């Protein structure tokens, strides 16, 4: 873009690296020590400083050598960006509230105009890229196959994660009967089956459940002997973290396990971004126990006090709004581990997100808080 | 979480659990659903009622109750007590006979089925040949005579039910004694009635349906008298001395026949159609009772003029010039007369008439002028207007109890003062431990106060809220303006009145403070009445206040019913609970929750739109809070819109099907094309029908969202004095829970007593908790520092409860349909939970704190939660650790109304409706158990010798197919006489009978 500079940068060799950062219509240029880029947090602070936007939550992106706009939000991808920048590191900054995630992704070079127009006018959604790369903190499991190491091969334990999204769980169950082998020979026993998948629903989009799969357990509790209504109630009560064990109607797709020793989680998202794995696992564990526990407490007494930020990250999408509204500090949706420990050490089974507001009226009326 | 479900099998705790909890269904209160048969034993002075579901219930003196159930669950058609025995025979509609006995077992009598029997005819005979129509237990107690549809009378031995074929009285054998010209005109047809001669047990009167009546001599197997009736026969009744009998007929007439030794084929003495001359309905049963003054009582059922009064359910009593046709609001099943049991009495001297109608029991005092009704101590018709809610208050202070009884006694002045005439058996149950009140709210706007302390659920007082409102019905309508010249002389009796003037009057919530006597009731049209107990009549103005629950909301329109119009000016109220303030919710939706705090003088109420708090001391609305979710439109459509729309859609779909059929029929014959269309239509119909049948029942699995309807519906309200804002100062608070899983907490400032009238009560929202699982909140409770639930208002002031521990930290228990959660206070954070639905797939329907005492030691008791789930199970869950203690199946899960009607008491008992008219009482406690325990002894002596010594002259006892209780009565009198003889032989026989039965 700017040839003289590029040349200059190139002449400077490996020592420093020029950075061109764009926020809105404004550009800022500065340089970084290529060998010691520092931490992402520092870089983030630096960007806020040079753009004089100290209290604005932003998303940071850069164009890689292929011209793709990729996000920078942790040390790893920050270091990657620095190491691959040649010669200039071009940074694009968006306000978080009007961030357009669709701008990120591959092939953005071919649609550079779109990228720019998207960045500049984020409400322009006419043309979406084929593949959307989320911000890593938004990576979240939607479904998983779990416990494959302990279950018989004919069974499948599926976990569905219901976030605050509009996407329905989207399946129906019915009564039916299945044939079991018993000491007295074959016996017909009543069972519960999946009868229908709602198109576009969570269940269908995971591909892990199918019509006529027999439901054997709901969150570890056997359904045999329970009525359709009981099983319905159990599933709905667990709907925010539903683990169902099924015997798939189609037994041909079963995984044949040989020498695989582990595989307790089937997250396909992990491999691409190893850096985020610990966090995701943490979310995971937490979600295991707490996913339906974050009752919201609104109190209007006393002065504001430090609130335990216990919004579980497995709920990151829905907690985003909440957190943004209430806690400026938890912009990433990740939990500082110290606070998580606090919660656990208190022996509390649940985590409450407490909201303090001296003036309760707006809160009462604010649908977003109450209906999170 | 699951660890709470697996009790660590602590043996000490397990033993304690056995000492604390025990599930029993103890007694059924109220009136049996669908009664079908009635029996009475003057000897035992017990009454038996059979039902269409095969239950048989025996009642004697108050507290004496027995119940049995036929395995077949078939309708009980007839009940006959065996003379002089603690035994009875029932006939079911499957033509089976069952012998039941009352036997003593560990100190109390029990009702048990002994034998069953089905009459078998000769091979190849039609089933009607053995279809039993009349049953006569003979006074010898050895045989039963069974009249059948074929006209034959079979004889079976008792108690073995062995058929004695050689003693069968065939219709042919009878007919050979009847003049041929009469026989040609009519065959015998079925046996309508069998009656033993009151003085001569070897003679029985046989009535055939076509009108022929014969007196049959059992010894010589011949007809001694023939009575050639010309009208279709309904029933027969002997006069006490056996010189005459009376027959009643299908055309509404009755006939008096003489029985003399000189005329073997007498003409009737008298034939009368009491409500003629126009065609009348049948008289199905008749009594002729003699009195000292010579004027008999003639009592008969039916016989009303067909055209104008054919729809009435009446029983007429004629005594000289007095005549009353008692007019019942439901069908009369059967009735009997209680008359003199004086052994030597020459006359019947009837004292009372007991009528079993389909929906109530009515007893008429025939001794007192005017024939007033007797107030029954049991078998109360709970459903005289449909029950809409119930509320139980345990341990009523004596003062309040007496005042309620006082108010009730002023309402009962029209009842007879006669002691209850059915007084057999002895109640040996211990006195009820405390005074308990069960309050039922009804559709007609009344609240009934029942004495629920013991086995007999007894009406103490009835409160009507109707007077406050203007209804379409003129109250003067109810006054029976019956002139004396009116004919027939109908008189309405009974209390069963299924018709409500206005369904908006229906009572939905009741809250009684037993210490202050304040009562709050709330109804279907958003009305809340606060009342005070006044021992005198009073006339005063009821203050009105309106609570607009939609205050800040724009654009909503209520599509439901309007509020009730109120009466202007002062209203006269009778002694009892008198309303002094009316709070009207706007929109006038049904009140869904109610709480009263008598100490703070506050009443809180909630509907599907929000909740409010009213200061009934200053008569001022403190605040309202709208809980409506913006997307919740359904809440505004009114209470029935959903049902209506369902009905409508069903109706439409039926209409569509019908229309397509009609149109196809119309086209018929219109040429080849039309028939094709028709075929196609028919096929389509069939396909749709098949589809409807084949579509499997499926359930959608979807997370609950904030947009679900009725999230704002206020399910529970609770007052507590607790630490709401900080841990150093406690303050009054109001808690509300909604259908959408939200809990609101308001901090209240109630001025001290001396300034209570001067300063306003203030409220400020302090907390709001949104349960993430969003299930409806059905209960809120605060536990004090010792984890004991906070006492009721005024409980401490009356020294009836320890004052709560305000030192330790309080805890908040929120019960939703799916979970139990304990939170800390004042900073709300979750501490413990029990996820019931996630674990068991059941939901909480009812929950109460109950106190359980140990049956071993008097000094141990604990508080637990008693929970009823949607599966009809009862679970006991410990406090404060939320551990499941025990589970009992109680109600069938299909019985939705039973589950909805369940109410727990504070001491581990409960009630639920098993039919619209009956409460089942159950107990979860080993200590507090109210169940019938009674003994029925054989009255002193029987006089077999009588029967054998003077067979022709004196009869021991007789019991006839449907009604002749009178004879039994006298017989038992004779028994008394002979008891005085102290006949050893007789005593031995009794003893052997008793032992033989064991």
In angstroms, the CA B840 to CA A223 distance is 9
Query: With pLDDT > 70 as the criterion, what percentage of chain B qualifies?
Result: 83
Is B393 a residue whose pLDDT tops 80? yes
What would the mean pLDDT of B79-88 be, rounded to a whole number? 91
Task: Tell how far CA A266 is from the center of its chain.
Answer: 15
In DSSP terms, A157 is beta-bridged to A146, A245
pLDDT exceeds cutoff 80 at A203? yes
**Chain B interface includes A12 (CB < 8 A):** no
Q: Which residues of B touch A296 (CB under 8 A)?
A: 768-770, 772
Task: Map tokens 């108050």 to a residue.
Answer: B62
Q: What is the model's pLDDT at position B804?
A: 84
What pLDDT shows up at residue B678?
Answer: 54
Omega before residue A21 within 30° of 0, cis: no
Taking the CA of residue A242 and the nearest CA in chain B, the distance in Å comes to: 10
Residues 6+ apart with CB under 8 A from B618: B756, B757, B760, B761
Confidence tier at A187 by pLDDT (50, 70, 90): confident
From A246-260, B553-567, B722-736, the region with the lowest mean pLDDT: A246-260
- Return the residue of B nearest to A300 by Cα: B766
Question: Is B132 in a helix, a strand, or coil?
Answer: strand
> By the CB < 8 Å criterion, does A295 face chain B?
yes
Tell me the per-residue pLDDT of B786-812, one tens digit each, with 9 for 90 and over. 888 998 888 877 777 778 888 878 999
Would you say residue A7 has pLDDT above 50? Answer: no
Cα–Cα distance between B238 and B217 in angstroms, integer? 16
d(CA B953, CA B560): 74
In DSSP terms, which residues pair with B298 in a beta bridge? B288, B318
What are the structure tokens assigned to B81, written together? 């007590």
B830 touches chain A (CB under 8 A): yes
- Asked whether the predicted pLDDT for residue B965 surpasses 90, the reply is no
The closest CB to that of A172, out of B699, B704, B828, belongs to B699
The Cα of A9 is separated from the nearest Cα of chain B by a number of Å equal to 55
Chain B residue with minimal CA distance to A193? B698
Contact call for B630 and A367, based on CB within 8 A: yes
Mean pLDDT throughout A288-292?
A: 44
Query: pLDDT at position B684, please?
Result: 58
- Arch. (CATH architecture) of A16-103: Roll (3.10)
Beta-carbon contacts of residue B916 (< 8 Å; ≥ 6 apart)? B33, B382, B383, B386, B387
Ordered by start, the domain boundaries in chain B are 627-632+709-834, 840-935
| Banded pLDDT at A17 (limits 50, 70, 90) | confident
Q: pLDDT tens-digit profile of B877-925?
A: 998 899 999 999 999 999 999 999 999 999 999 999 999 999 999 999 9
Rounded Cα distance between B237 and B301, Å, is 13
**Where do the CATH 2.30.42.10 domains begin and end in chain A?**
143-253
CB B838 within 8 A of CB B831: no
> Residues B688-707: pLDDT tens digits?
555 555 556 888 888 777 66
Chain A residues in contact with B828 by the CB 8 A cut-off are: 297, 299, 352, 354
At residue A366, does pLDDT exceed 50? no
Distances (CA, A) of B70 to B26, B111, B313: 19, 12, 29
Backbone angles phi, psi at A228, to 5 degrees: -55, -40
Residue B539: helix, strand or coil by DSSP? strand
Q: Which DSSP category does B697 fall into?
A: P
Tell me, yes or no, if A348 comes closer than 8 A to chain B by beta carbon.
yes
What pLDDT shows up at residue B698?
Answer: 84
Q: Is the C-alpha dihedral spanning A340, A342, A347, A352 positive or negative?
A: negative
The tens digit of pLDDT for each residue in A323-353 reads 333 333 333 433 333 433 333 333 333 333 3
Give the ranges where chain A is alpha helix by DSSP (H).
3-11, 40-50, 75-84, 112-120, 202-206, 228-237, 277-290, 316-326, 337-345, 360-365, 367-370
Average pLDDT, chain B: 84
Chain B residues within 8 A of A196 when measuring between CB atoms? 698
pLDDT of residue B23: 94
Q: Which of B49, B97, B57, B50 is nearest to B75 (CA)?
A: B50
State the pLDDT at residue B482.
46
Rounded to whole angstroms, how far apart are CA atoms B295 and B318?
9
Give domain A143-253's CATH superfamily: PDZ domain (2.30.42.10)
List the single range of A172-176, A293-297, B737-741 with lowest mean pLDDT. Answer: A293-297
Residues shown for chain A: 372
User: Looking at beta carbons, which residues of chain A come within 8 Å of B830?
Assistant: 293, 295, 348-352
How many CA atoms lie less than 13 Å away from B534 in the CB half-sphere?
15
| DSSP structural state of residue A3 | H
Sheet arrangement for strand A88-95: A26-33, A16-23, A88-95, A58-63, A69-72
Cis peptide before A344 (omega within 30 of 0): no
Residue with tokens 């018993």: A182
Taking an 8 Å cut-off on Cβ atoms, the answer to whether B773 and A240 are in contact is yes
- pLDDT surpassing 60 at residue A53: yes
pLDDT computed for residue B234 by the predictor: 94
Strands of the sheet with B191-196, listed across from one edge: B191-196, B203-208, B212-217, B222-228
pLDDT reading at B977 higher than 90? no
Owner of token pair 């010189």: B243
- B508 in Cβ contact with B389 (< 8 Å): yes
Q: Which pLDDT score, from 0 to 100, does residue A111 have?
A: 45
Q: Which of B482, B455, B448 has the alpha carbon at shortest distance from B577?
A: B448
Closest by CA to B40, choosing from B287, B321, B214, B410, is B287
Question: Higher model confidence: residue B371 or residue B939?
Answer: B371
Predicted local confidence at residue B674, as pLDDT: 46
**Best of B841, B843, B881 to mutate (most A CBs within 10 Å, chain A):** B841
* 0.90 exceeded by pTM: no
Are A297 and B768 within 8 A, CB to CB? yes
- Residue among A230, A237, A295 minimizing CB distance to B835: A237
Which of B84, B36, B62, B22 has its CA nearest to residue B970? Answer: B84
Q: Which pLDDT score is estimated for B301?
A: 95
Residue A233 has its nearest CB partner, among B2, B766, B841, at: B841
Tokens of B680: 């196609």
d(CA B985, CA B948): 13
- pLDDT tens per residue, range B151-207: 889 999 988 889 888 889 988 888 888 887 776 655 668 899 999 998 888 999 999
Please compute the mean of the pLDDT values over residues B27-40 and round it to a whole number.
94
Q: Is the dihedral of CA B256, B257, B259, B263 positive or negative?
A: positive
Tens of pLDDT, residues B319-329: 988 999 999 99
Is B858 a residue whose pLDDT tops 90?
Answer: no
**Is B701 within 8 Å of A238 when comparing Cβ atoms?**
no
Cα–Cα distances in angstroms (integers) from residue B893 to residues A20, A230, B865, in the given order: 70, 11, 20
Enumerate residues 6+ apart whose C-beta is below 8 A from A98.
A122, A123
Contact across the interface for A237 and B838, Cβ inside 8 Å: yes
- Asked if B765's CB is within 8 angstroms of A299's CB, the reply is no
* Tens-place pLDDT, residues B935-954: 988 765 444 434 333 333 33
Q: What is the dihedral of CA A71, A75, A80, A85, to 10 degrees?
A: 80
Residue B875: CB atoms within 10 A of its CB come to 23
For residue A112, pLDDT beyond 80: no
Are the CB atoms for A298 and A307 separated by under 8 Å? no
Contacts of B892 in chain A (CB under 8 A): none
Given pLDDT bands bounded at 50, 70 and 90, which one contains residue B539?
Answer: very high
pLDDT of residue A133: 58
The alpha carbon of residue A157 and the mean position of all alpha carbons in its chain are separated, in whole angstroms, by 21
Average pLDDT of B9-34? 90
DSSP assignment letter at A105 = B
Q: Prior bond to B112 cis, omega within 30? A: no
Distance of CA B971 to the CA centre of its chain: 34
Instruction: Decide if B595 contacts B519 (C-beta within 8 A).
Output: no
8 A C-beta contact, residue A277 and residue A163: no
For residue B699, the chain A residues in CB contact (below 8 A) are 172-174, 228-229, 231-232
- Asked if residue A4 has pLDDT above 60, the reply is no
Q: Taking residues A190-194, report their average pLDDT.
A: 91
pLDDT of residue B583: 96
**B324 neighbors B316 (Cβ within 8 angstroms):** yes
Q: How far is CA B190 from CA B170, B194, B206, B396, in A?
A: 11, 11, 10, 58
Task: State the pLDDT at residue B820.
Answer: 95
Residue A138: pLDDT band (50, 70, 90) is low
Please state, in angstroms and rounded to a whole number, the distance separating the CA atoms of residues B213 and B58. 33
Segment B411-415 shows an average pLDDT of 86
Of B772, B828, B838, the CB nearest to A238: B838
Q: Considering only residues 363 to 382 of chain B, which have any Cβ-Cβ distance to chain A shorter than 8 Å?
A: none
Instruction: Give dist(CA B429, CA B455) in Å, integer.
Output: 9
In the numeric block, the tokens 């208050």 are attached to B393
Question: Which residues make up the CATH 3.10.20.90 domain(s) of chain A?
Answer: 16-103
Best interface-test mutation with A: which of B814, B817, B838 has the largest number of A CBs within 10 A?
Answer: B838
Among A289, A207, A278, A288, smallest CA distance to A248 is for A207
Neighboring chain A residues of B870 at a CB cutoff of 8 Å: 233
The answer to whether the CB of B315 falls within 8 A of the CB of B300 is yes
Does the structure show a pLDDT above 90 at B973?
A: no
């Amino acid at each position: 873009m700017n040839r003289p500079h590029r040349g200059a940068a190139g002449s400077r060799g490996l020592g420093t690296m020029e950075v061109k950062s764009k926020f809105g219509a404004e550009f800022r240029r500065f340089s970084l020590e290529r060998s010691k880029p520092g931490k992402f947090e520092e870089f983030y602070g630096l960007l806020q400083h040079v753009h004089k936007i100290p209290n604005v939550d932003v998303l940071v992106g850069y164009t890689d050598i292929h011209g793709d706009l990729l996000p920078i939000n942790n040390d790893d991808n920050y270091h990657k960006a620095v190491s691959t920048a040649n010669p200039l590191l071009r940074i694009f900054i968006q306000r978080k509230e009007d961030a357009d995630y669709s701008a990120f992704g591959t092939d953005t070079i071919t649609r550079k105009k779109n990228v720019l127009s998207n960045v500049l006018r984020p409400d322009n959604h006419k043309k979406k890229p084929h593949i959307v790369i989320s911000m890593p903190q938004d990576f979240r499991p939607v479904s998983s196959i779990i416990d494959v190491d302990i279950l018989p091969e004919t069974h499948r334990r599926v976990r569905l994660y219901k976030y605050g999204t509009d996407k329905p769980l989207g399946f129906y169950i019915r009564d039916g009967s299945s044939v079991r082998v018993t000491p007295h020979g074959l016996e017909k026993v009543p069972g519960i089956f999946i009868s229908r998948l709602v198109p576009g629903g969570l269940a269908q989009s995971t591909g892990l459940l199918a019509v006529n799969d027999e439901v054997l357990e709901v969150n570890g509790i056997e359904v045999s002997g329970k009525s359709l209504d009981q099983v319905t109630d159990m599933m709905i009560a667990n709907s925010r973290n539903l683990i169902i064990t099924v015997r798939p109607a189609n037994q041909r797709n079963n995984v044949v396990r040989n020498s695989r020793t582990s595989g307790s989680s089937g997250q396909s998202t992990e491999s691409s971004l190893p850096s985020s794995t610990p966090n995701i696992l943490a979310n995971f564990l937490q979600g295991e126990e707490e996913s339906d526990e974050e009752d919201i407490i609104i109190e209007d007494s006393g002065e504001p006090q430090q609130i335990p930020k216990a919004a579980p990250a497995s709920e990151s999408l829905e907690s985003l709004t909440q957190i943004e509204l209430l806690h400026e500090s938890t912009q990433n949706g990740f939990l500082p581990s110290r606070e998580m420990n606090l919660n656990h050490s208190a022996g509390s089974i649940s985590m409450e997100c407490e909201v303090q507001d001296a003036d309760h009226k707006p809160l009462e009326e604010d649908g977003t808080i109450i209906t999170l | 979480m699951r660890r709470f479900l697996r009790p660590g099998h602590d043996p000490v705790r397990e033993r304690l659990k056995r000492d604390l909890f025990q599930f029993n269904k103890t007694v059924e209160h109220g009136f049996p659903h669908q009664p079908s048969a009635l029996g009475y034993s003057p000897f035992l002075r017990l009454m038996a009622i059979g039902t269409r579901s095969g239950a048989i219930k025996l009642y004697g003196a108050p507290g004496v109750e027995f119940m049995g159930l036929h395995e077949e669950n078939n309708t009980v058609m007839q009940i006959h007590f065996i003379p002089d025995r603690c035994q009875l025979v029932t006939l079911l509609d499957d033509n089976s006979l069952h012998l039941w006995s009352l036997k003593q077992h560990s100190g109390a009598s029990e009702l048990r089925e002994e034998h069953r029997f089905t009459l078998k005819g000769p091979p190849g005979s039609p089933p009607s040949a053995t279809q039993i129509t009349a049953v006569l237990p003979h006074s010898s107690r050895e045989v039963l005579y069974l009249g059948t549809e074929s006209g034959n009378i079979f004889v079976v031995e008792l108690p073995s039910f062995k058929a004695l074929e050689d003693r069968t009285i065939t219709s042919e054998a009878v007919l050979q004694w009847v003049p041929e010209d009469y026989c040609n005109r009519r065959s015998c047809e079925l046996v309508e009635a069998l009656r033993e001669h009151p003085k001569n047990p070897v003679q029985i009167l046989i009535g055939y349906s076509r009108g022929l009546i014969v007196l049959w001599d059992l010894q010589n197997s011949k007809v001694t008298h023939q009575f050639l009736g010309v009208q279709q026969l309904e029933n027969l009744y002997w006069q006490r001395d056996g010189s005459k009998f009376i027959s009643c007929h299908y055309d509404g007439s009755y006939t008096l026949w003489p029985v003399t030794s000189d005329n073997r084929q007498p003409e009737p003495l008298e034939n009368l159609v009491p409500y003629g001359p126009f065609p009348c309905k049948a008289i199905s049963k008749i009594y002729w009772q003699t009195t000292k003054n010579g004027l008999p009582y003639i009592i008969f059922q039916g016989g009303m003029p067909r055209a104008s009064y054919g729809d009435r359910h009446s029983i007429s009593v004629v005594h000289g010039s007095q005549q009353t046709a008692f007019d019942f609001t439901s069908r009369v099943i059967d009735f009997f007369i209680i008359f003199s049991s004086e052994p030597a009495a020459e006359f019947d001297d009837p004292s009372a008439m007991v009528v079993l109608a389909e929906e109530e029991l009515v007893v008429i005092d025939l001794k007192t002028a005017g024939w007033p009704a007797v107030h029954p101590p049991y078998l109360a018709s709970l459903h005289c207007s449909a029950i809409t809610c119930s509320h139980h208050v345990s341990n009523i202070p004596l003062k309040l109890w007496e005042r309620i009884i006082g108010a009730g006694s002023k309402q009962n002045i029209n009842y007879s003062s006669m002691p209850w005439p059915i007084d057999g058996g002895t109640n040996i149950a211990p006195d009820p431990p405390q005074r308990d009140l069960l309050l039922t709210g009804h559709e007609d706007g009344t609240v009934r106060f029942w004495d629920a302390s013991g086995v007999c659920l007894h009406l103490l007082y009835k409160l009507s809220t109707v007077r406050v409102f203007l209804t379409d019905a003129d109250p003067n309508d109810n006054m029976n303006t019956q002139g004396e010249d009116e004919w027939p002389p109908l008189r309405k009796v009974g209390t069963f009145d299924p018709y409500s003037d206005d369904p908006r009057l229906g009572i939905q919530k009741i809250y009684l403070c037993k210490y202050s006597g304040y009562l709050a009731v709330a109804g279907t049209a958003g009305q809340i009445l606060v009342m005070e107990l006044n021992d005198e009549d009073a006339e005063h103005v009821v203050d009105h206040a309106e609570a607009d629950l939609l205050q800040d909301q724009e654009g909503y329109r209520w599509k439901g019913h309007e509020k009730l119009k109120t009466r202007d000016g002062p209203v006269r109220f009778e002694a009892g609970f008198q309303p002094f303030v009316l709070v009207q919710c706007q929109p006038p939706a049904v009140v869904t929750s109610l709480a009263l705090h008598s100490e703070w003088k506050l009443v809180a109420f909630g509907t599907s739109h929000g909740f409010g708090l009213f200061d009934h001391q200053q008569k001022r609305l403190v605040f309202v809070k709208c809980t409506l979710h913006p997307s919740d439109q359904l809440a505004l459509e009114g209470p029935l819109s959903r049902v209506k729309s369902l009905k409508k859609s069903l109706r439409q779909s039926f209409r569509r099907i019908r229309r397509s059929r009609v149109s196809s029929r119309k086209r018929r014959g219109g040429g080849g094309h039309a028939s094709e269309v028709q075929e196609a239509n028919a096929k389509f119909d069939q396909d749709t029908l098949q589809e409807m049948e084949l579509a499997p029942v499926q359930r959608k699995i979807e997370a609950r969202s904030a947009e679900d309807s009725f999230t704002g519906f206020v399910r529970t309200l609770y007052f507590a004095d607790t630490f709401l804002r900080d841990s150093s100062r406690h303050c009054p608070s109001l808690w509300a829970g909604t259908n959408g899983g939200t809990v609101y907490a308001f901090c209240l400032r109630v001025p001290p007593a001396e300034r209570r009238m001067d300063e306003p009560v203030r409220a400020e929202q302090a907390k709001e908790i949104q349960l993430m699982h969003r299930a409806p909140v059905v209960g809120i409770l605060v536990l004090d520092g010792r984890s004991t639930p906070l006492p009721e208002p005024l409980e401490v002031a009356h020294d009836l409860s320890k004052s709560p521990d305000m030192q330790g930290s309080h805890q908040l228990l929120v019960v939703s349909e799916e979970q139990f959660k304990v939170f800390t206070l004042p900073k709300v954070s979750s501490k413990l939970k029990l996820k019931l639905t996630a674990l068991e797939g059941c939901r909480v329907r009812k929950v109460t704190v109950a106190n359980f005492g140990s049956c071993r030691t008097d000094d141990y008791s604990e508080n637990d939660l008693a929970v009823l789930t949607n599966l009809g199970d009862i679970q006991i869950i410990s406090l404060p650790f939320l551990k499941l203690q025990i589970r009992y199946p109680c109600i069938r899960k299909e019985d939705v109304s039973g589950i909805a009607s369940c109410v727990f008491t504070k001491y581990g008992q409960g009630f639920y409706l098993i039919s619209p008219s009956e409460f089942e009482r159950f107990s979860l406690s080993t200590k507090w158990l109210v169940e019938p325990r009674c003994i029925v002894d054989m009255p002193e002596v029987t006089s077999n010798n009588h029967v054998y010594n003077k067979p022709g002259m004196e009869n021991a006892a007789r019991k006839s197919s449907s009604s002749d209780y009178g004879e039994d009565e006298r017989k038992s009198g004779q028994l008394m006489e002979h008891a005085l003889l102290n006949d050893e032989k007789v005593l031995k026989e009794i003893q052997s009978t008793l032992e033989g039965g064991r």
